[in-house]
Chain A
Amino acid sequence: AQSVAQPEDQVNVAEGNPLTVKCTYSVSGNPYLFWYVQYPNRGLQFLLKYITGDNLVKGSYGFEAEFNKSQTSFHLKKPSALVSDSALYFCAVRWLSGGYNKLIFGAGTRLAVHP
């Protein structure tokens, strides 16, 4: 079955330090992978995506993610965390199922950046 996993419920990091939010996936065929961010009581905002090509993709607000096919991972990274990056982060995967386009999400990882 297709799935996406975020193994950490919460990630704590000090401001200015690098951050990583982990995501692994299980999809038959080529994966289409996405990262979204959610602030309290708000909808999700798109950060970045991997479709094909370069394994390192860059997105909004200085975030980037590295696609690793052998490890089936798509970890979100940022070289220097800001307090304003504190939010809930979701990894998502899209695939084609029976002619329909499905998108599923991981359980989310709460990022807390401390001053």
Chain B
Amino acid sequence: DGGITQSPKYLFRKEGQNVTLSCEQNLNHDAMYWYRQDPGQGLRLIYYSQIVNDFQKGDIAEGYSVSREKKESFPLTVTSAQKNPTAFYLCASKPGQALGTEAFFGQGTRLTVV
């Protein structure tokens, strides 16, 4: 099956810990995105990558880091510098640079600070 896989589905983090959220796609898509979803705020863009070894900050990149060493993978690390990390995180991908192509989303990871 082709698609985007996010893991884990649920993640618990202690204060001061770094955690990494996995996002893997086998759709051969060039572009990948990370969004954070909070109640009543919709989706906010954290980081995006249009090609391997290149990524750009989104609107709320502080406290997060990413890498794009392989086309299929775009992991997101939530660092201890992110003061309010509890949220639902969504990864997406889309083919190529064309503006008219739709993005495909993973099923999300719910991160909770304990």
CB-based A-B contact count at 8 angstroms: 64
* Contacts known (A43-B90, A95-B99); A105 close to B42, Cβ less than 8 A: yes
- The one of B35, B43, B50, B90 in contact with A101, judged by C-beta atoms closer than 8 angstroms, is B50
**Minimal Cβ-Cβ distance residue in A for B108:** A43
**Distance, CA A90 to CA B56, complexed state (A):** 23
The number of residues on chain A lying at the interface, defined by a beta carbon within 8 Å of a beta carbon of chain B, is: 26
**Distance, CA A104 to CA B33, complexed state (A):** 11
Chain B residues in 8 Å Cβ range of A94: 99-100
Chain A residues in 8 Å Cβ range of B63: none
Pair A42/B107 contact, Cβ less than 8 Å: yes
A51 at the interface (CB under 8 A from B): yes
- Complex A-B: 29 CB contacts under 8 Å: A6-B42, A9-B40, A34-B102, A41-B88, A41-B108, A41-B110, A42-B107, A42-B108, A43-B105, A43-B107, A44-B90, A44-B92, A44-B105, A46-B102, A51-B99, A51-B100, A94-B99, A94-B100, A95-B99, A96-B99, A100-B50, A100-B56, A101-B48, A101-B94, A103-B45, A103-B92, A104-B45, A105-B42, A108-B40
Chain A residues in 8 Å Cβ range of B53: none
Pair B56/A45 contact, Cβ less than 8 Å: no
The 6 closest A-B pairs by CB, nearest first: A43-B105, A107-B42, A51-B100, A105-B43, A44-B105, A46-B102
**Minimal Cβ-Cβ distance residue in B for A52:** B100
**Which A residues have a C-beta under 8 Å from some C-beta of B?**
6, 9, 32, 34, 36, 41-46, 49, 51, 90, 94-96, 100-108
**Minimal Cβ-Cβ distance residue in A for B39:** A108
Main SS class of interface, B = strand
Q: 9 other contacts beyond A43-B6, A44-B105, A104-B59, with CB at 8 A cut-off?
A: A42-B107, A43-B92, A43-B105, A46-B102, A49-B100, A90-B43, A94-B100, A100-B56, A108-B40
